[in-house]
Amino acid sequence: MWQGDDLVGFVDWDTAGPFTRERDLAYVALTWVPLHARHVVVAQGFTAFEDRYRRLHLLLDAYGYEGDRSAFGLEVADRAQKNAEFIRRHAEGGEQVFRTLLPFAVNLEQAVAEIEELPDSFWVRA
């Protein structure tokens, strides 16, 4: 959403559903910090991996997140895993659109593995 020349918000309806605020915020962190698989975000032009800690906590602070940030890491990984499972389930059910998205499911699963490798200190605000 734009206000004049300024981006003031965005709406992503692809995975819309009745989620908790942590679940929605987890997807935002996955895609905008970004915590997605390295090869995915490098292809999009992001290479400042050392800045992800600052970006994550800036996002959480700006959002007013007061939850357990260590547990938030688990939420990000679980959100990515559930999205991958959703794609796979529908692809296996014969839905062509989701068959086309199978490489995206693989990328999400790689993101989960990379998120799980982050040190505990990544999730805790200094």
Distance CA 9, CA 7 (A): 6
CB 105 within 8 A of CB 49: no
Closest among 33, 21, 19 to 118, alpha carbons compared: 33
Identify the DSSP state of 67. Answer: S
Q: Give 10-residue mean pLDDT values along the chain (126 residues).
A: 85 69 93 97 97 98 95 96 95 94 97 97 93
User: Phi and psi (nearest 5°) for 2?
Assistant: -115, 145
Model confidence, pTM:
0.85
